[in-house]
Structure 1
Amino acid sequence: MGWIRTLVQATSLALSLMTAAQAADAPASAPTGTKVVRYAFNAAETGFDPARISDIYSNQVLSHIFEAPLTYDYLARPAEVRPLTAAALPEHSADFTVWTVHIRPGIYFADDPAFKGVRRELTAADYAYAIKRYYDPRWKSPVYSEYREYHVLGLEELRQKALDTRRPFDYDAPVAGLQTPDRYTLRVTLGRPNPMFMLTMANTNSFGAVAREVVEAYGEDVDAHPVGTGPFRLAQWRRSSLIVLERNPGYRDDSYDAHPAADDAEGQALLARFKGRKLPMIDRLEFAIIEQPQPTWLSFLSRDFDLVITPLEYAPIAAPGGHLAPNLAKQGIQLERVLRSDHAYTYFNMNDPVVGGYTAEKIALRRAISLAYDNMAEINRVRRGLGIPAKTLLVPNTYGYDPQQNFGFSEYDPAKALLDLYGYVDKDGDGWRDLPDGKPLLLRYFTQSDETSRQFNELWGKYMKAVGLHMEFVPGQWPDQFKLAQAGSVQIWALGNTATSPDGSGFLHEAYGPEAGANNLPFFKLPAYDDLVRRIDQMPLSPERDALITQAQRLLAVYMPIKPHVHRIRLYLSQPWLLGYRTHPFALDFGRFVDVDLQKKSAALH
């Protein structure tokens, strides 16, 4: 305990200032006997309207409030899809264009004034309405571009009519591609085959049920009134500070069940412990937004958080050599080391006059920037070894990912000769390379102000300076920069993207032309690439599909709109009284499956 005591003493002033500043944002104390799980986000949410969000932080919250027809088995590895509000897995036509799902009767939305005192049952029409909202121009949904590529028959025409007439979207107009033959049946008809469409039905952000009464009651403020059928409901929200969910008292009778592999000892132990328990097992789930790593770490040590992702700066302290520190182990703290189904990447705005464009000299500039930056240095110095280099665009645990493939995304080769060859030389003698036409060459990298971001900036600055490229950093808040990125107003930005399904080809949409400004923030538009992605989307799993995925990645490696950096390894630390937590590669609703041992917690805190 000596090192903890020294660390806490050395930072006591910072912690006391933080505590004072956050006191006003603290939730009311939980009643004795209340099971509460507190979790830390390192970036702010953007909102709680499923039609208007796409970031992982907001999705993490919404996955506990809203429900899709399908979900993932909590313990099965590899991931398995299972019914949630659906009575069974969906049926589909032979050509994968017609998908039919039957919703279980007797599922209800959480009580809300919008329902005027009437208990509101979930129906197939609620899913149809939620899908229509993605097409409504009023909501400017980032999910719209995804659905447009599904070609749900009739919805694009309905959207265009609203745009042309400047009249409200007609939710009551019949739509050939969205039909509800009866109260509990939803039939979706697509304009082209999509063998993977079932996975969309397991994603709350793409297929979460929304009640029309709620949207019409709250209008633009529906963002602050998420009402779903899930195990929790929103109790408190202080933007970019604190989110409190409480157990939905009207949640249906649901019990713990899962299907871990026979050789999965941990999964089998969890199943034996919790099978048949009524869900959810906790009363409250709190998300605090703390962007700086030190307060997050100190708050966990002081037991203010039950679960955290270990900040990179403290990974060597928490898990030296990848193993839980003895001092933490003695306290009963639990460690889960996970290779995430994600990647961190940098992208270039293809519409930017400096780094964008498809001519040889613009491609050379992006490739030179990419080659000049050392992914392994990032992993070893900033990420403290918590990652593996991203050699492909696809991510671990997904269909199409092949760890043996290497498209050169993590290749390090300071390519001064490449810059010289295409005319990026210092023409005015100021020590920095200029554009071929003699104008100043300034790279503007958008970033955040936290300590970890500053370390990434230092690394970028160092490697760009080594090849004579002048890079300046533009700090800001993540949600604000995300909006700028969607508008195409950033030049270079770093992002992380986490898989929401086992279909790895979804990561190809990060550069898919029709989704520019949504999934495709680089605004990359290349017909040959787009044609490959369309063909991939219409194919079932097969070696032929994998071959097309390889072709698509080769094009990205040539044009370099995106530089993948790393597949991240995360260290999840949990307090000894938090029971049942296990990171799922795709599902986000962990609060449904965890429990708190109040007796153990009381003993530890006193």
Structure 2
Amino acid sequence: PQLLYWLAMPFFAPMPWEADRFYAQPGMAERNLTLDWYPVGTGAYMLTENNPNRRMVLVRNPNFHGATYPTEGEPGDRAKGWLDDAGKPLPFIDKVIYSLEKESIPYWNKFLQGYYDVSGVSSDSFDQAIQFTQGGEAELTPMMKAKGIRLVTAVQASIYYMGFNMLDPVVGGDSERARLLRRAISIAVDYEEFISIFANGRGIPAQGPIPPGIFGYREGREGINPYVYDWVDGRARRKPIAEAKRLLAAAGYPDGRDAKTGKPLLIHLDVTGGGPEDKARFDWLRKQFRKIDLQLVIRNTDYNRFQEKMRKGNAQLFQWGWNADYPDPENFLFLLYGPNGKVRRGGENAANYANPEFDALFERMKNMDNGPERQALVDRMVEIARRDAPWIWGFHPRQFTLHHAWYFNAKPNLMAHNTLMYRRIDPQLREKLRAEWNRPVLWPLWVLLAVFVISLVPAVLAWRRRERASAREAD
């Protein structure tokens, strides 16, 4: 099934030979006449202005082959109005302008004034736009609701995690001792707290390598990682620190010390970066390890040196992430496939994890069509990975998008690049609300004028007194 996804990726876009021959002429690149700046395609829009440092303009392609809005969708799409335009010809918008705003605050203010149709939510404006219910669900603040702004959220097909180097003599390997140590640390690092502090609640804790929206992901009770979470009152709850300390003691490190030598256990985390925000995260990580009496030593280095450590297997614990290339479980599970090990094969398996059963199941699963048999294989692979804990599973980020009431068909699809032609705008409503929100405020001018007039009164009276005095002297 991956072949279809590969064919849909940008680097497989068909290109007419005439265009390739035209841009390959001598001297074209020197004059900046390349496909990068003057792209050729068959989509709904064509690029008419390309200035990435200021603005880019797309206009309707008069030669577009034509398409219609989908007539079917997922459960709930019709209730949200995402099928109201079913069967209508695409695209709906004639011209699209992307402007570069170098600062987030001016961009946010212009969005609130109605000069931008869509906006993300930066940390500067988060509290103004978003609030959380008692159940932890994000919703708009009353101010945003009053303006008719709408919030659309979607969990990204991505994962950020911390990986153990499985070649390391302390945290790596398939011994029960190392496995218990990894599980204890996985419980101690509270990613619910991390998401709340550092991501403004924009994320969900990962229960395994597969994010929501990808085949193989399990919801609810059957989808939790039982080695890190319990199912309590209808939701996943992280196991208590007492359980992490019990596992640590069973691994031979009671109170964070090696039972044989009495020495404290040091865990080394290799990272890049060292700004103020990084320092806050590093301090938070140290705190997580101290909860189970472990000492975390953070080794900060430049990116090239860090990559060299990863290639040679000299890192013990590291932070990593992955964005889906295409929506298939193979694109995540291959990150734990033994023959993809980074040290021995130069692959994307940065943890150098290898489990014979997992690898055999991966070989069977990777080219199967989605169905019950493939789901069963994925379930077993995820169970093996959870048991062995080569990663601290981390979290899947959640994207927050705001749009105005005149912006329609805003269903998120974070894997697609052609969603613009489905969007629709109500320009009359936009102009009406813009005018209401940006009425000139004249009362300060009237106040200044009144102050000015009042300030003139004493001067006028004094002038008149002097004039009368001068007239009397003349008489």
Distance change >3 Å, CA 523–CA 255, structure 1 → 2: same
Instruction: Give the corresponding residue for 1:443.
Output: 268
Deviations 1:452-500 (A, max 9, x none): 76665443222112223333556799x9899779857764114253573
Q: Give 1:440 shift.
A: 7.2
Q: Indicate whether 1:495 and 2:313 are aligned.
A: no
Deviations 1:478-537 (A, max 9, x none): x98997798577641142535732x33432122123444554333333333222111011
Deviations 1:222-241 (A, max 9, x none): 89668452445582346xxx
Deviations 1:265-288 (A, max 9, x none): 356555428921446643333577
Q: Is the 8 A contact 2:189 2:285 kept in 1?
A: yes
Instruction: Give the corresponding residue for 2:7.
Output: 201
Q: Which amino acid aligns with 1:408?
A: P
Three-state SS of the structure 2 residue aligned to 1:323 is strand
Instruction: Give the corresponding residue for 1:521.
Output: 350
Distance change >3 Å, CA 523–CA 248, structure 1 → 2: farther
Instruction: Give the corresponding residue for 1:539.
Output: 368
1: CA distance between counterparts of 2:9 and 2:188? 37
1: CA distance between counterparts of 2:306 and 2:87? 40
Moved more, 362-371 or 264-273: 264-273
Identify which of 149, 153, 172 aligns with 1:337.
153
Deviations 1:163-184 (A, max 9, x none): xxxxxxxxxxxxxxxxxxxxxx
Three-state SS of the structure 2 residue aligned to 1:265 is coil
Moved more, 409-418 or 450-459: 450-459
Distance change >3 Å, CA 391–CA 243, structure 1 → 2: farther
1: CA distance between counterparts of 2:391 and 2:106? 33
Distance change >3 Å, CA 546–CA 247, structure 1 → 2: same
Q: Give 1:400 shift.
A: 1.9
Distance change >3 Å, CA 439–CA 243, structure 1 → 2: farther
Three-state SS of the structure 1 residue aligned to 2:412 is coil
> Which structure is higher in RCO with an 8 Å CA cutoff and minimum separation 6?
2
Identify which of 272, 282, 290 aligns with 2:85.
272
Distance change >3 Å, CA 553–CA 521, structure 1 → 2: same
Aligned residues: percent identity? 21
Task: Show structure 1 runs of 5+ residues with no match.
Answer: 1-194, 427-431
Distance change >3 Å, CA 451–CA 545, structure 1 → 2: farther
Deviations 1:336-388 (A, max 9, x none): 13344544433234455664444444434332221211233334554455444
Q: Give 1:407 shift.
A: 2.9
Q: Is the 8 A contact 2:341 2:349 kept in 1?
A: yes
Q: Indicate whether 1:254 and 2:83 are aligned.
A: no
Q: Give 1:554 shift.
A: 1.9
Instruction: Give the corresponding residue for 1:408.
Output: 226
Three-state SS of the structure 1 residue aligned to 2:187 is helix
Moved more, 450-459 or 534-543: 450-459
Instruction: Give the corresponding residue for 2:378.
Output: 549
Identify which of 298, 307, 323 aligns with 2:139.
323
Identify which of 310, 326, 339 aligns with 2:121.
310
Instruction: Give the corresponding residue for 1:42.
Output: none
Distance change >3 Å, CA 303–CA 463, structure 1 → 2: farther
Three-state SS of the structure 1 residue aligned to 2:364 is helix
Q: Is the 8 A contact 1:312 1:452 kept in 2?
A: no
Q: Which amino acid aligns with 1:520?
A: N
Distance change >3 Å, CA 286–CA 273, structure 1 → 2: farther
Deviations 1:13-33 (A, max 9, x none): xxxxxxxxxxxxxxxxxxxxx
Distance change >3 Å, CA 522–CA 199, structure 1 → 2: same
Q: Give 1:557 shift.
A: 1.4
User: TM-score under structure 2 normalisation?
Assistant: 0.66
Deviations 1:376-405 (A, max 9, x none): 333455445544443333232332222223
Identify which of 143, 162, 165 aligns with 1:346.
162
Q: Which amino acid aligns with 1:541?
A: N
1: CA distance between counterparts of 2:297 and 2:56? 38
2: CA distance between counterparts of 1:425 and 1:497? 38
- What are the equivalent positions in structure 2 for 1:575-586 lying under 5 Å apart? 575-584=404-413, 586=415
Q: Is the 8 A contact 1:364 1:422 kept in 2?
A: yes
Q: Indicate whether 1:591 and 2:406 are aligned.
A: no
Query: Pairwise CA RMSD of aligned residues?
Result: 4.6
Q: Is the 8 A contact 1:390 1:410 kept in 2?
A: no
Q: Which amino acid aligns with 1:373?
A: V
Identify which of 39, 51, 54 aligns with 1:236.
51
2: CA distance between counterparts of 1:379 and 1:281? 39
Three-state SS of the structure 2 residue aligned to 1:394 is coil
Q: Is the 8 A contact 1:348 1:493 kept in 2?
A: no
1: CA distance between counterparts of 2:163 and 2:411? 31
Q: Which amino acid aligns with 1:589?
A: N
- What are the equivalent positions in structure 2 for 1:276-425 lying under 5 Å apart? 276-278=89-91, 281-285=94-98, 300-301=111-112, 306-311=117-122, 315-320=126-131, 321=133, 322-351=138-167, 355-403=171-219, 404-408=222-226, 410-411=228-229, 412-414=239-241, 415-424=244-253
Q: Give 1:305 shift.
A: 5.4
Instruction: Give the corresponding residue for 1:572.
Output: 401
2: CA distance between counterparts of 1:295 and 1:482? 37
Q: Is the 8 A contact 1:433 1:470 kept in 2?
A: no
Q: Give 1:546 shift.
A: 1.8
- What are the equivalent positions in structure 2 for 1:162-173 lying under 5 Å apart? none
Q: Which amino acid aligns with 2:326?
A: T
Q: Is the 8 A contact 2:70 2:87 kept in 1?
A: no
1: CA distance between counterparts of 2:87 and 2:339? 45
2: CA distance between counterparts of 1:304 and 1:469? 52
Q: Give 1:585 shift.
A: 5.1
Distance change >3 Å, CA 275–CA 382, structure 1 → 2: same
Distance change >3 Å, CA 383–CA 409, structure 1 → 2: farther
Task: Show structure 2 runs of 5+ residues with no match.
Answer: 230-238, 440-475
Deviations 1:304-348 (A, max 9, x none): 754333246755542323332121122232211334454443323
Q: Is the 8 A contact 1:410 1:565 kept in 2?
A: no
Distance change >3 Å, CA 521–CA 577, structure 1 → 2: farther
User: TM-score under structure 1 normalisation?
Assistant: 0.53
